[in-house]
Amino acid sequence: MAAASSTSEGETSAWPRVRCCGKSYSYYCPVCYKSLAPPGVAIPDVTLPLSVAVMLKDGRQRSTAMHAPVLAPRDVRVYEHPDYAGLPESFDAENCVVAFPSDDAVPWTALDGLARVRTLILIDSPWQQAQKALALPQLAGLRRVKIDKPPAQVQFWRVAAHDSAGHLSTIEALALLLKEHAAATGSNFDSDPLLFFFSLMRSRILEYHDRKEERREREGLAPGRTPFDPERRDRFRRRFIQKERTAAPGKLKYGKPLAAATGEEEEEAQAEPDPT
């Protein structure tokens, strides 16, 4: 496995946008899974303990699951909605499991025949649409696993209507699942390199926040909040619910109607950088 990098992950200015597959991207190309690292930066080359099949129903540029085939190209396959082209006609229920926190899901330590598991299927879709992927005939009858100990503190910068203390991005969930798998099987596998790009993106957001704070301090304004602040996340969640209520009256998916977003919330949302 290659070393992460001699360049500090916080030095995001060293990662200019690069054209690949007809578009401009930062860090990596989500189409061909090529790293777009600047010269002198080594990218982790990870060998996973399991084969990973990603069922993708989200934008490639938005999805953090696309980090996995860049960092572990030998062990990760991506099957994309709507036809999931290339998906095997069936999976062996003895050696394949689906990562999804349903009521019948168990942690690795409670899974019968753990040593026989060879493939982990990862659902990457908007939360409310995950059931459509799970309904595919290839996934019928497969056992489900879940994270045993979700983190108490949020590291992901995006906010969803179901946002909670343990809300994870897809790549965080994969890294934690493989970490717990290693603990359950007695392996020495280190899943941290899977968070290489995630850490870079998070650093970019924090750097942006630091620059804003310096400007607010010069202007004599009160300190702002990072995207990871619980109160700020709750305001964004409420704004998202309100947007759904406004777009489809009487068909609210995520919660009760809420008051309209304030000007401060609108300003914060527009100012948030896109790390991709």
Number of domains in the chain: 1
Query: What element of type H or E holds 211?
Result: helix 196-218
Mean pLDDT of the chain: 78
3-state secondary structure of 23: strand
When pLDDT is cut at 50, 70 and 90, the band that residue 161 belongs to is low
Asked whether the beta carbons of 151 and 230 are under 8 A apart, the reply is: no
Q: In terms of DSSP bridges, do strands 119-124 and 96-99 run parallel, antiparallel, or are they unpaired?
A: parallel
- Name the nearest CA neighbour of 37 among 47, 25, 46, 49: 25
Range of the domain at 136: 12-198
Check: CB of residue 276 under 8 Å from CB of residue 25. yes
41-89: per-residue pLDDT in tens? 899 999 999 999 999 987 787 788 999 999 999 999 999 998 899 999 9
139 in a structural domain: yes
Q: How far is CA 12 from its chain centroid?
A: 19
Q: Is residue 219 part of a domain?
A: no
- The b-or-e profile of 98-130 (16+ CB within 10 A means b, else e) is bbbeeeebeebeebeeeeebebbbbbbbeeeeb
pLDDT value for 151: 79
Q: Is residue 229 part of a domain?
A: no
pLDDT at 267 over 80: no
Residue 138 in domain: yes
Confidence of residue 117 (pLDDT cuts 50, 70, 90): very high
Predicted confidence at residue 208, as pLDDT, reads 64
Inside any domain, residue 231: no
274, pLDDT greater than 70? no
Report which of 149, 217, 133, 208 is spatially closest to residue 183, judged by C-alpha positions.
Answer: 149
**Residue 269 domain-assigned?**
no
For residues 140-167, average pLDDT? 72
Give the rounded percent of residues in the chain with a pLDDT score beyond 70.
63
CA distance 177 to 97: 12
Q: Note the pLDDT of residue 253.
A: 43
Rounded to two decimals, the pTM is 0.74
Average pLDDT value for residue range 259-271: 37
Q: At what angle do helices 230-247 and 263-271 cross, to 10 degrees?
A: 100
Any domain includes 253: no
How far is 166 from 154, CA to CA, in rounded Å? 6
What tokens does 237 get?
Answer: 């969640």
Tell me the pLDDT tens digit for each residue of 195-234: 999 888 877 776 666 666 666 666 666 666 666 666 665 6
Cα angle, residue 266 at apex, residues 263 and 267 outer, rounded to 5°: 85
Q: Is residue 247 part of a domain?
A: no
